[in-house]
Chain A
Amino acid sequence: MHGVCCMIDVCDLKTYYSRGFLHRTSVRAVDGVSFGIEKGETLGLVGESGCGKTTLGRSLLRLIEPTSGRVIFDGTDIMALSRRDLRRFRPRMQMIFQDAYASLNPRMRIRESIAEPLRIHGLENRAGIGRRVRDLIEMVGLNEEHLNRRPYELSGGQNQRVVLARVLAMEPEFIVADEPTAGLDVSVQAQILTLFRDLGRDYHTACLYISHDLGVVRAMSDRVAIMLKGRIVELGPTTDVLDHPCHSYTRRLVAAPGADRGFSRPAPCPAPSGSPAMVEVQSGHWVEAAAW
């Protein structure tokens, strides 16, 4: 399903939440998901609210403990790591959350917020940190004056830039971005997304870009995965999937009924990375077998 130069390889990942007190039932938020993201590639993850895309994003970084499955990050199975060992990997895989304001400590000045991860992970010495923070704030299009402010003194777009500076401080190889522009205006969204895209290119970062906005996903991703009820039902190059959707749900999503290109129906064969239910309809374009 993916090339050899994999930054992150996910295999049959499941994250169940249990609920209820006397009658325990489980909610299958992520129910057997497999995919890979190459170095420098952006995979868009699309689905309606409640389909499990945020849970999936967080599970990859073990911010939520998955129930089962494997997540291979640059050759290491991070599911098998102890908490302590996992911490060493943290700078290399970062997360950008939806709400930038809530992601920043309201009592810290922006300068401290950006310096904190550098200090914790010991990436710079004391003198180096100050210089690096100034470089970073300029890289995201703000200036030194903003360093002395606190999050409530900045706009939503400016806060998201600060979050971006904080993430870039780690020079991560993999970023999970969970709707980083939800709630921002289109003109501000365009500023943040072009910045994010350009920086991702410069650093050759792999990215899982979570969004329900198809326009944004189209602009940001190389490939796109469509998620429905905890499962990935369609996966492939962005234009293939969005212009020629095969799964009925994807069609509903892009509102193009009958956008079928009339592929010859291949015999279902198991996908290489252990998700037996996917069928390859065209090179690199996979659809859930049940739908096909």
Chain B
Amino acid sequence: MRMDDPLLCVRGLKVGFPTADGVVKASNIVDLTIRAGETLALLGETGSGKTVLGMAILRLLQPNTRIEGEILYRGRDLLSLPQEEMQKVRGREIAVVLQNSGTSLNPVLRVGDQIAEAITLHRGLKGAEAEAAAVELLDQVRITDPARMAREYPHRFSGGMRERALIALALACNPSFLIADEPTRGLDAVTKREILNLFSEVNRGRSVLFITHDIEAAASLAARVAVMYAGEIIEIGPVDAVLSSPAHPYTRGLLESLPAKGMRPIPGSAPSLIAPPPGCRFFPRCSCGAGRCEIEHPGLVEVGPGHYARCMLYD
């Protein structure tokens, strides 16, 4: 597969969670392409649907979730694969670093054994061979004294070390596509920088979907960035273009609310996803909204080379 060929293609994805109060439309027509060897950052705030998109790709959503659309991985639709086939894709082809490193590792199993388990399942190595491979992975993610730490339980690991162990676990089968869900959440500045450096180093040549709410982390890792708001991708394009000249009013507001950029908050709060605004979902909070934004739902419009925004301003 050449660089630039699409590895993963998400088309018209809609995800809804039925609840007592109505269906929560967590994702609404998300279209997304990830090329081979590319890191795409998925930037958004709590509840914007970025984790849902990641979990939909892995098919790890609850069974009663309503999903429409297609997710093509190397041309195969993951949504219509039988469970057993999907099981082979997960971990081997597409791996994940889950949010919240504190609870992603089994507290009663040694860290090395948890990594060895993935190696045994997918690569067929057994016993001492699998263990040695696990130690090697821990070494690769810069855990000091990996042979000793492999025999320790997760509670002996600090937050940064646990994150490293999870990265090792995700890389156990050398997957071609990695989904990382907020791998730097809750880490202090120095540790965060170390994890980001490690991340870019171990993922050279790999396709990565980097889910984050941290704008600086996204800027340091990704070539392209997609911004999500209320279940929709509202802007997508090259990192430099999106972050230096954001087209969508929400992206602009998000950047201006950074302490370093003046800390000007966006008024109001994100809409309910049970009954989202019928037109533009950002309209109730938007400073440049016009009459038709309230009723017409905007599509993605090209505003620069490879740079799209879902806003009437450019229509």
Q: Are A187 and B253 in contact (CB under 8 A)?
A: yes
Complex Cα spacing A216 to B260, Å: 8
Complex Cα spacing A48 to B189, Å: 7
Task: Chain B residues near A219: list those with CB within 8 A.
Answer: 259-260, 263
Supposing A49-B188, A187-B45 touch, asked if A157 and B269 sit within 8 A by C-beta, the answer is yes
Residue among B46, B158, B263 making CB contact with A185, cutoff 8 Å:
B46
Task: Chain A residues near B259: list those with CB within 8 A.
Answer: 189-190, 193, 213, 215-216, 218-220
The residue of chain B having its C-beta at the shortest distance from the C-beta of A219 within the complex is: B259
Q: Are B46 and A186 in contact (CB under 8 A)?
A: no
Contact with B along A251-292 (1 / 0, CB 8 A): 011010000000000000000000000000000000000000
Where chain A touches its partner, the secondary structure class is: helix
User: Does B258 make an interface contact (CB < 8 A)?
Assistant: yes
Residue among A156, A214, A215, A255 making CB contact with B258, cutoff 8 Å:
A215
Task: Chain B residues near A255: list those with CB within 8 A.
Answer: 193
Task: Chain A residues near B193: list those with CB within 8 A.
Answer: 255
User: Does B215 make an interface contact (CB < 8 A)?
Assistant: yes
User: Does A191 make an interface contact (CB < 8 A)?
Assistant: yes
Q: Are A214 and B46 in contact (CB under 8 A)?
A: no
Q: Are A48 and B190 in contact (CB under 8 A)?
A: yes
User: Does A182 make an interface contact (CB < 8 A)?
Assistant: yes
Q: Are A252 and B190 in contact (CB under 8 A)?
A: yes
Contact with B along A195-228 (1 / 0, CB 8 A): 0000000000000000011111011100000000
User: Does B266 make an interface contact (CB < 8 A)?
Assistant: yes
User: Does B265 make an interface contact (CB < 8 A)?
Assistant: yes
Q: Are A213 and B254 in contact (CB under 8 A)?
A: no
Q: Is the interface on chain B under 10, 10 to 19, 20 to 34, or 35 or more residues?
A: 20 to 34
User: Does A194 make an interface contact (CB < 8 A)?
Assistant: yes
Contact with B along A239-253 (1 / 0, CB 8 A): 000000000000011
User: Does A123 make an interface contact (CB < 8 A)?
Assistant: no
User: Does B112 make an interface contact (CB < 8 A)?
Assistant: no
User: Does B186 make an interface contact (CB < 8 A)?
Assistant: yes
Q: Are B265 and A190 in contact (CB under 8 A)?
A: yes
Complex Cα spacing A48 to B191, Å: 8
User: Does A188 make an interface contact (CB < 8 A)?
Assistant: yes
User: Does A183 make an interface contact (CB < 8 A)?
Assistant: yes
Task: Chain A residues near B257: list those with CB within 8 A.
Answer: 186-187, 189-191
Residue among B189, B213, B269 making CB contact with A186, cutoff 8 Å:
B213
- The tally of CB-CB contacts under 8 A between chains A and B is 70
Task: Chain B residues near A143: list those with CB within 8 A.
Answer: none
Q: Is the interface on chain A under 10, 10 to 19, 20 to 34, or 35 or more residues?
A: 20 to 34
User: Does B264 make an interface contact (CB < 8 A)?
Assistant: yes
A292 → chain B closest CB, angstroms: 21
User: Does B159 make an interface contact (CB < 8 A)?
Assistant: yes
B210 → chain A closest CB, angstroms: 17
Complex Cα spacing A198 to B159, Å: 34
Task: Chain A residues near B158: list those with CB within 8 A.
Answer: 49-50
The residue of chain B having its C-beta at the shortest distance from the C-beta of A186 within the complex is: B257
Contact with B along A76-102 (1 / 0, CB 8 A): 000000000000000000000000000
Task: Chain B residues near A48: list those with CB within 8 A.
Answer: 188-191
Task: Chain A residues near B213: list those with CB within 8 A.
Answer: 185-186
User: Does A148 make an interface contact (CB < 8 A)?
Assistant: no
Task: Chain A residues near B264: list those with CB within 8 A.
Answer: 190, 194
Complex Cα spacing A156 to B269, Å: 12
Q: Which residues of B contact A (CB under 8 A)?
A: 45-46, 158-159, 185-191, 193, 213, 215, 253-254, 257-260, 263-266, 269
- 22 inter-chain pairs at a CB distance below 8 angstroms, sorted by A residue, are A48-B190, A49-B187, A49-B191, A50-B158, A156-B46, A157-B269, A186-B215, A187-B253, A187-B254, A187-B257, A187-B266, A188-B45, A189-B257, A190-B264, A190-B265, A193-B263, A212-B189, A214-B189, A215-B258, A219-B259, A219-B263, A252-B190
Task: Please list the 5 inter-chain residue pairs (A to B) with the smallest Cβ-Cβ separation, ordered nearest first.
Answer: A190-B257, A185-B45, A219-B259, A190-B265, A215-B259
